[in-house]
Amino acid sequence: MPARLLAIMAALLSIMLWSPTLAQTHNHGAGAGTAQADTAQPQPAQSEPAPAQTTPAPDADASSGGSSAAPVVSYHSPTIFTLRTGIAGGRMVYLGVGGDIDGEINPTLMVHEGELVQINLINGEGAEHDVVIDQYAARSSIVVGKNASSTFSFIATKVGEFAYFCSIAGHREAGMEGLVHVMPGPRSEMDTNAADIVRDPADLPGPIGQRAPQVVRVDLETVELTGRLDDGTTYVYWTFNSKVPGPFLRVRVGDTVEVHIKNAADSVMPHSVDFHAATGPGGGADFTQIAPGEEAVVTFQALKPGIFVYHCATPSVAHHITSGMYGLILVEPEGGLPQVDREFYVMQGEIYTVEPFGTKGEMEMDYDKLLSEQPEYFLFNGSVGALTKTHPLYASAGETVRIYFGVGGPNFTSSFHVIGEIFDHVYTLGSVTSPPLTGVQTVTVPPGGATIVDFKIDRGGHYVLVDHALSRAERGLAGYLIVDGPENDEIMHSGPAGSIPAPDSAE
């Protein structure tokens, strides 16, 4: 519906405009291209792999004035509610749909101060209805036909209980009224024993640079574990090295890649690995089908430079991939890629659960939904809020940023876009030997495909990573690039041309 699309765009815009400072501190030091180069190179064949390197998160540094910060508004299920109009007990009512309010009559919508709240209204019986929260000056459109829908959103800036109701004459009195309860302070993550399976987007080895080809050992362990899918929601992930995506692998063209893969003894399933960067049977999968507790070794030549996906290739292949078994391997061209200040690693995937999006508890995979390509979740790096709440991308104004972006899938193509930025260079379809495209807004990446995007950040602020199939943002697919530094008003400012605010006299 056009109104729904406008509401989604308004919600995304409100995220960009509403920008409180951040609660977690982060590092503004040297970019990934330099900070990790000495410690995260691919290693020659050896008995133990080098550990993955991550950028530490020290106390707030002087560049931000040492200020503490509050969480940024995030897309996740507790702030999205769906109401269907209906009749219950002879009265006109709203019925909750999905999550904690499923089936409830005029449910109380529990949110926290500062959250972005989205309410979806579905007409369930064909009479005209709307939803109004007059104390927030927020309302839906009027829906008339059965199954007609409307969506609206607002920021919960006031604490307390606020009525929502139908403004059509007589409907509120007939029973169509409930409460939005806004609680003080930010929402804390619900207690769970589940592991954090999210691969930090800054967790990748630094550039190789100029060196001769060599033998590079890669160690992978296939691990099945219960991980956090969302606040209060868990899923049994199948992983490479206990994270989604698997480790970012970096070699150069001409290297000999020796892959040691082990299936954890407590696994239930057999697993394997297929490298799109390899030439040979199954991309290595024919030699690496291993049962729990077993190990295998496969060696291949890195013949072609590029950015490539790897994934499990054990039947059902789609089941193994959707559960988290995918990653990227970069085969650098001789001499490497042009230098940038920061590099990040982001992959998109889908999860197909029996229970609808937003349900609490442990989710189970739905094979029928998988085969019919009807996912409940769309995700960056494995979970809802992975790149908003727990592992945002951080950079500073004036820096150049490179994102290695891939789609594990297993089924959906991504239209990757960073709201508020334009890609200076795009390595189309992952090719690093073809001249990159320049000045690109959105890049298409198929499942099992990857790309590299570079851009310079000219202005401080919050930028949002999305798949521009924007309905997927409501099923978990959003990320933040948080940029410290001056907000250059010459590039963008509120108000007409020529009305650039005067600089602060204290500066």
- Residue 382: CB atoms within 10 A of its CB come to 28
Give me Rg for the CA atoms of the chain.
Answer: 24
pLDDT of the chain, 507 residues: tens digit per residue: 444 444 444 444 444 433 333 333 333 333 333 333 333 333 433 333 333 333 333 333 333 333 333 444 444 344 789 999 999 999 999 999 987 898 999 999 998 888 889 899 999 999 999 999 998 889 999 999 999 999 998 888 888 889 999 999 999 999 999 999 998 877 655 445 789 999 999 999 999 989 999 999 999 999 999 999 998 899 999 999 999 999 999 999 999 999 999 999 999 999 999 999 999 999 999 999 999 999 999 999 999 999 999 999 999 999 999 999 999 999 999 999 999 999 999 999 999 999 999 899 999 999 999 999 999 999 999 999 999 988 999 999 999 999 999 999 999 999 999 999 999 999 999 999 999 999 999 999 999 999 999 999 999 988 999 999 999 998 999 999 999 988 877 888 778 887 776 655 444
Q: Retrieve residue 69's tokens.
A: 């910060």
Using an 8 Å Cβ cutoff, are 257 and 300 in contact? Answer: yes
pLDDT at position 330 is 98
Number of domains in the chain: 2
| b/e map 411-445, b = 16+ CB within 10 Å | bbebebbbbbbebbbbbeebebeeebeeebeebeb
Distances (CA, A) of 131 to 141, 157, 278, 310, 344: 8, 19, 56, 47, 42
Terminal CA-CA length for the chain: 48
Q: Where are the beta strands (DSSP E) in 283-411?
A: 295-301, 306-311, 326-332, 342-351, 361-363, 377-380, 393-396, 400-409
Sheet holding 256-263: strands in order across? 295-301, 256-263, 215-230, 233-240, 361-363
Distances (CA, A) of 62 to 67, 68, 71, 436, 505: 9, 12, 20, 37, 20
Helix (H) or strand (E) holding 81: strand 80-88
User: Is residue 475 helix, strand or coil?
Assistant: helix
Q: Retrieve residue 263's tokens.
A: 């299936």
**Residue partners of 47: CB distance under 8 A and separation at least 6:** none
pLDDT at position 42 is 39
What does the alpha-carbon distance between residue 424 and residue 461 come to, in Å, rounded to a whole number? Answer: 18
Using an 8 Å Cβ cutoff, are 447 and 407 in contact? Answer: yes
Q: Retrieve residue 420's tokens.
A: 């508020």
What residues are paired with 101 via a beta bridge? none
CA-closest candidate to residue 28, choices 7, 71, 53, 57: 57
What does the alpha-carbon distance between residue 415 and residue 436 come to, in Å, rounded to a whole number? Answer: 17
pLDDT, tens digit, for every residue of 484-506? 988 877 888 778 887 776 655 44
The reply to whether 168 falls in a domain is yes
Domain limits for position 78: 72-183
447 and 367 in a common domain:
yes
The reply to whether 32 falls in a domain is no
pLDDT at position 187 is 66
197 and 258 in a common domain:
yes
403 and 323 in a common domain:
yes
DSSP letters spanning 122-159: E-SSSS-B--EEGGGTEEPPPB-STT-EEEEEEE--S-
User: Is residue 216 helix, strand or coil?
Assistant: strand
The reply to whether 272 falls in a domain is yes
231 and 174 in a common domain:
no
What does the alpha-carbon distance between residue 199 and residue 332 come to, in Å, rounded to a whole number? Answer: 22
224 and 257 in a common domain:
yes
Show which of 134, 157, 183 is a domain's final residue.
Answer: 183
216 and 145 in a common domain:
no
Show which of 151, 183, 215 is a domain's final residue.
Answer: 183
The reply to whether 373 falls in a domain is yes
203 and 304 in a common domain:
yes
Longest pairwise C-alpha distance within the chain: 80
339 and 198 in a common domain:
yes
The reply to whether 153 falls in a domain is yes
The reply to whether 41 falls in a domain is no
What does the alpha-carbon distance between residue 21 and residue 5 come to, in Å, rounded to a whole number? Answer: 28
The reply to whether 506 falls in a domain is no
439 and 306 in a common domain:
yes
Distances (CA, A) of 403 to 32, 107, 340, 408: 11, 42, 10, 16
Distances (CA, A) of 469 to 164, 348, 477: 30, 13, 10
264 and 144 in a common domain:
no
What does the alpha-carbon distance between residue 343 and residue 34 come to, in Å, rounded to a whole number? Answer: 10
What does the alpha-carbon distance between residue 405 and residue 413 come to, in Å, rounded to a whole number? Answer: 12
211 and 178 in a common domain:
no
Show which of 183, 210, 241 is a domain's final residue.
Answer: 183
Please provide residue 50's backbone torsions phi and psi, each rounded to the nearest 5 degrees.
-70, 140
Question: What CATH number corresponds to the domain at position 155?
Answer: 2.60.40.420
pLDDT at position 192 is 59
450 and 400 in a common domain:
yes
The reply to whether 418 falls in a domain is yes
